[in-house]
Copies of this chain bind each other. A is one copy, B any other.
Amino acid sequence: MNKRLQQMAQNREKLIEAGRDAFARHGFAGASMEELTAAAGLTRGALYHNFGDKRGLLAAVVHQIDEAMATEAQAAAARYDDLWLRLLAEGEAYIEMAMRPEVQRIVLLDGPAVLGDPSRWPSQNACLQSTKQSVRQLIQEGIFRPVDVEAASRLLSGAALNAALYVAASSDPAATLPKAIESFRTMAEGFLVERPGGE
């Protein structure tokens, strides 16, 4: 029973999936709602009913990707016990994820341009939240200098995403990746009370 709710949820999912594909392939402005909905086996009617407008669909798509990224990054971080190493792993995970064209186009470029600053997104930018958590603990344990948690987290996660854009846009991403990660780590080390000796 409740066949309608079930159908509706399924259609929402189809539209988000189609949107994800279309936005990644053509960018937000270049994606045609007509084509997009047709690809999902529906019409624009379904889209406007479910998401209000084109931006609404983008918001839903961004939210989905954003959460998946946070989950993935936390999984990468969870492999370490040391808080500091975890933060680094999280950052590097972001950098690697943001190399995916889909993430770049949708989350890093069109997302901010169309929806505004990420920190204002309803999803609260899940990536940012987990970074904040780590930073707070690091400061409590006296490993990080007592800077403002909000600002530090914001700049750290921003640096990771920025590094990713840089890597992805470079002519030789594979060669650039390690350099970007190294610089990211160097900048993150600025927050440490005691810098690690070698390397």
Contacts and interface: CB of A to CB of B under 8 A. Distances in A.
A155 B169 contact: no
A120 B171 CA distance: 10
Give the copy number: 2
Interface in A150-165: 150-152, 154-156, 158-159, 162-163, 165
B151 A166 contact: yes
Interface in A172-196: 176, 179-180, 182-184, 186-191, 195
Interface of A: 27-29, 108-110, 112-114, 116-117, 119-120, 145, 147-148, 150-152, 154-156, 158-159, 162-163, 165-166, 168-169, 176, 179-180, 182-184, 186-191, 195
